[in-house]
Structure formats: C-alpha cells, structure tokens
Chain A
Amino acid sequence: MAGYFKKMYHSISTVLTGLGITIKYGINPKTEVTQQYPEVKREPPEGFRGKLFVDINICTGCTACARICPVDAITLKTVRDENKKLRPVLFDIDNARCIYCGLCVEACPVDNCLYFEKKYEFSAYSKEDLISHFGLGEVKPAESKTEDKKTEAGKEGKEAAQ
C-alpha cells in the first residue's frame, strides 16, 4: 500500500517538474531560436562550402580538380593556345552532382582560382540549369583577340554563377 502511494507521488512530482520546464519556455517568447529564413538570412562563416567558383582566367587547365573529384562533377576540356599554354575551353561543374567535399579546392595548385563561394541558394527548375559553365569557349590563336575573349568569357562565367 505504501508503495502504491509512493509510486503515485513519484509520478505526479516528476510530471509536474516536466510541466514546469515546458511552461518556462511556453510563456517566455525570448526562448525562441527560430530564424525566419527568407527574411533573416544567416551569414555563412569564412570558409563556408557553398557553390564552387572558378576564376577561369588564372586557371592553368591542369585538371587536378577534375581528377580528384570523387563524383566526377567537373568536366574539363583544355586546348593549347598559341603560346603553348593550356587553356580550359570547357569547364563545367555540375552542382547537382557535387557533394561539396572540398577536395578539388585543395587540389588546385593556383591560389584563388577554384574556391567556394558563400552562396547556398541556387535551386533551379531543371537539372541542366544546375550546371555552371565557366569554360572559355573558343580560344583563338591571335593574341589580342584571345585577351578580349577571355575577359568576356570570364564575365559570362560570373554571370552564370549568379
């Protein structure tokens, strides 16, 4: 019989303790931790692994990134321009395949060439739209024209990335 009441007391007291904790949260609006996402956007910290970006003008076309990528998200095609330098004419990163592991960024031998942007909102309506194209397109042998082309393509690439 004593056990019967003891059990009852134990149940009631622990239930009341629990209720005490929840009501503290229930009546205090300051405890809310939700961020209202589309209105309040959190700033990702330095080194956030968001969308990949390639500064195509300084890319040497060494293909280290494409080779290290474990999921083959990077498609690279290089040709030699008239200075015998390798130029990436095609540089596609499939954001749908990429797992944001960071191996390519670490593999890239050129500083600030391939890096993660802090961007994390890039949903699209079709899979194709998720591929960012950074490639230079055609590389013409003529020096001056190549220069023009490069900057243009670079711009395009940036736009595509946005």
Chain B
Amino acid sequence: MTNADEKFMQVNMGPQHPSTHGVLRLLVTTDGEVLSGVKPYIGYLHRALEKIAERVTYPQFSPFTDRLDYLASMNCNLAYAMTVEKLLNIEVPRRAQILRVIMAELNRISSHLIAFGSFSSDMGAFTPFLFGIREREFINDLFEIACGARLTYNYIRIGGVSKDIPGGFIEKTREFLDYFPAKIKEYNELLSYNAIFIKRLANIAVISPDDAFDYGITGPNLRASGIKWDLRREEPYLIYNELDFDIPVGKGEMGKTGDAWDRYMMRIYEMEQSAKIVRQCLDLLAPGDYTAKVSKVLKPPAGEVYVRAENPRGELGFYLISDGSTKPYRLKIRAPSFANLSIIPKLARGVMIADLVAIIGSLDIILPEIDR
C-alpha cells in the first residue's frame, strides 16, 4: 500500500446492505464521504439459468423466465415466448396478442411501482414505498384472477397465454385504471416534486447520450438521457403499432438531461402511458382463441434467433440456438440490468455515499436478472 492509498478507506457496501437491491456487492473506495471509486461484484444470486435452459425442454423453461426479473415476470415470459415462436414460426391469435399486451403493460406498471417505492425508501422517505406496494397489490390481484399466481406468473406461454381471462377481469382492470391516475398525482405531490427530493437528484449522475450508447444502457434509463428509443415503437411486436401512446424522454426538467431525477421521472411517465395502453387494449379485446395450436412436444428446426423486447428495465433479449432437438442448444440472455449496472463505476466517481444510493436506485437494477 502506498501513501496515496492510505488516504482512502475501502468499505464493502453489500452484499448485506439495505439499499443494494438484492445482493449486489460494491467495493467502495472513499475519502471521507466522497467516493473515489466503486467496483461492483456480482454473482451472489447465480442460479445458472442459462445452463438450466440447455437441460429442459422449450416449454419447461418458461417458468424459469419468471425468475429472471421477478418484478416483471410477464415481460420476461413474453420475450421468451416470442423467441421460441419465432424459431417455430407460430402465429399467435389476436386475442392472445392483446391479452399479452395487457399483461405486459400491467406488469410494467407494477414493476415501476416497486422501482418508485424502493427508490423513495433509498432516499429516506418510507411512506411512498408502501403507497407503491398498495397499488401493486391491486395489480397482483388482477394477475391472480387471470393466472392464479401473484409473483411468478408463467402466464404467457409459447403460442399464446396459459388460459383465457375469467369474467370480471376486464371490469376490475377498468376499476384500477380509473383509480390509478389520482394515485400518480399523489406520488408526484408527495415525492416527485418535493424540494428535498429534487435537490437530492437533480444534476446527479448525469448519463450523456454518448455514454448511454457506450455502455448499452436501455429502457427508461436510456430515454431519460433524451434518446427516443423504445422497442415497442422501433420494432413493434404484438399489436403495439396499432396503439396510441407516447414515449416519454428526459428533458432535464429539474437539471441536466439524463440526471437521476429524469430517470426516476421516466418511470412515473411510463406508468401513465402504460395505463393508457391497457385501456385501449381492453377496448380492442374481441372474442377469439387465447392460444395457437401448439403441439405438446416442441421440436424446432435447427437454427438461431435473437428476439428482444422492451422490459420495464430495458431491452431483454434471448439469443436461442436450436440443434433440432427438444431442448435448446444454447440460450443466452441479454439482461438489461446487467448493462445498466456497468455504468455505476463511471457515474460514482467524486460523488458522495448518499449519491451512490441514488445512482443505484435511479438505475433500478434487479439482481436476479444480472446474476441469472
């Protein structure tokens, strides 16, 4: 150790730390309160999901995708199902497509609610967290009606969805959509536009568009930097091209474009947009099949596909190689949080410890997806 090093203190933030969103370990080098370097260490939640994929059949892997980003299981199910469908050339019935959009967008709302809540508790305000959870319970109830599970849904399957929505689902969803905007307004008044909150986040950890491209940042974090890139618009899948919704981008309302406040606010805006999408889909819903005819044993032709979808946390991609057997030859998962995490060491230089928490929270990473 040289003399220069002795000025600094090394602290382990995590894996047991209240605000590392799971089990992320950050080796933090600090000079008092000011950070001089951060090194993330991952792998504490490694379950070898990619290897498991090689050992189970195509339909069997679907429940495992629930466990990628467990706050947005529907979206993960969706991306996986679309990947296999592309390999098998399955045409999904329209009703199933609409149901998929409804579920994916509801799940986007519930995932963003957790992002909002956990971020607020990182910032020291605990009440918005419980408010977020309260609204999320409503969505969980909806999912429970639809598929019987509250967290690991395994609802969107290869070919369609696992079962049709029961009666009452549509009314309940409408009830939620009517009730939700008032709550968003409440969040904004309570937290988003709070002076302390803005002071903590404005101009903190600015990601410039160039940096965002360099590090492969996607999702709300990318859009916060002012880049209008959303796969639902750029490469429309399902019925997204028929739907009318805006893509919110960061404008630097409270400071520089791409700061932590912008990233946080993207999620609030996206919740509003998702609610709008769900409302349109409910109107579009017409009777029909909820799943395509899919044979029980799937044997896709040899070949490889890459499919990506817009997850709440960014682009989730599945790169699937098939050797013609019933099991994938190789499945590579491109997890959005992994790329988003990689920018932390760059952002967390010369900031304070409290800002590091704000950075992690505003990037909204989720560990099971990173470690896989």
Report A's interface with B, CB cutoff 8 A. 7, 10-11, 14-15, 17-18, 21-22, 33, 44-49, 68-70, 99-103, 106-107, 116
Contacts and interface: CB of A to CB of B under 8 A. Distances in A.
A17 B189 CA distance: 7
B4 interface: no
A22 B144 contact: no
B152 A47 contact: no
Interface of B: 56, 59-64, 66, 127, 134, 137, 144-145, 147-149, 152, 154, 162-163, 166, 186, 189-191, 193-196, 296
A14 B195 contact: yes
Contact of B64 (A7, A15, A70, A102): A70
A93 to B, nearest CB: 16
Contact of B195 (A11, A21, A45, A101): A11
A33 B195 contact: no
26 contacts: A11-B196, A15-B194, A17-B189, A18-B191, A21-B186, A21-B189, A22-B190, A33-B134, A33-B137, A44-B144, A44-B148, A45-B145, A45-B166, A46-B166, A48-B144, A49-B147, A69-B60, A70-B56, A70-B61, A101-B62, A101-B154, A102-B148, A102-B154, A103-B62, A103-B154, A107-B296
Classify the secondary structure of B's interface with A: helix
Contacts of B163: 47
Given A49-B149, A103-B59, 11 more contacts: A11-B196, A15-B196, A18-B191, A45-B145, A46-B166, A48-B144, A101-B63, A101-B152, A101-B154, A103-B154, A107-B296
B144 A45 contact: yes
Given A70-B56, A100-B152, A102-B148, A21 B63 contact: no
With a 10 A CB-CB cut-off, give which of B137, B149, B296 has the most chain A CB atoms: B149
A18, A107, A116 pick with most chain B CB within 10 angstroms: A18
Given A45-B145, A101-B152, A102-B154, A14 B60 contact: no
Contacts of A44: 144, 148
Most chain A CB within 10 A, of B60, B145, B195, is at B195
A103 B148 CA distance: 13
Contacts of A70: 56, 60-61, 63-64
Nearest to A69: B60
Nearest to A118: B148
Contacts of A116: 148
B148 A47 contact: yes
A45 B137 CA distance: 14
A8 B62 CA distance: 54
Contact of B147 (A11, A17, A47): A47
B190 A49 contact: no
A48 B193 CA distance: 40
A15 B195 contact: yes
Contact of A68 (B59, B191, B194): B59
B44 to A, nearest CB: 21
A99 B194 CA distance: 42
Nearest to A46: B166
Contact of B60 (A7, A10, A45, A68): A68
Contacts of B190: 17-18, 21-22
Contacts of A33: 134, 137
Contacts of B60: 68-70, 103
A15 to B, nearest CB: 7
A120 B17 CA distance: 31
Contacts of A101: 62-63, 66, 152, 154
A14 B149 contact: no
A22 B127 CA distance: 8
Contacts of B66: 101
B59 A47 contact: no
Nearest to A101: B63
A47 B148 CA distance: 5
Contact of B194 (A14, A45, A47, A48): A14
